[in-house]
Amino acid sequence: MHTFRDAIDVNYQRMALTGEELSGVPLEDLKVASKLIKEALQIRQDNMDRIGNFFPTTTRNFLTGEYPKNLPKCRRKNTEMLASLENERRRQYIQQEEAEQERIRRLMEERRSSG
């Protein structure tokens, strides 16, 4: 298990919103841009949830305010999270199948008793 801050196989650059002195963009414009990005991510999250797709947990936690206050000390690998998600979907599918079989059984009993 890797610590949250491990970046063994991740290549990225850090950037900061600093204002006019470095980027030439006014601080107010940066604030507006960041609000629009946050709004776009929230719309994306809503759409992903509606169609049943996976939305990144880290991004979700930043949008809800969980992070950066409560950053985890360790993180689970994506494969573990996807496996648990797949197990949950499989369980839901089985429940739906059982409910459908029960509905069909009741319909058959109703037809037998009425005929």
Going from N- to C-terminal start, the domains of the chain cover 1-7+15-75, 76-115
Q: What is the pLDDT of residue 10?
A: 54
Task: Please enumerate in sequence order all residues whose Cβ is within 8 A of that of 4, keeping only pairs 6 or more positions apart, or say none.
Answer: 71, 72, 73, 74, 75
Q: What is the pLDDT of residue 58?
A: 85
Q: What is the pLDDT of residue 38?
A: 92
The rounded distance, in Å, linking the Cα atoms of 22 and 89 is 48
Mean pLDDT by groups of 10 residues along the chain of 115 residues:
53 58 75 92 93 88 85 69 80 93 93 84
**What b/e string do you get for 62-79 counting C-beta neighbours within 10 Å, with b at 16 or more?**
eeeeebeeeeeeebeeee
Q: What is the pLDDT of residue 101?
A: 94
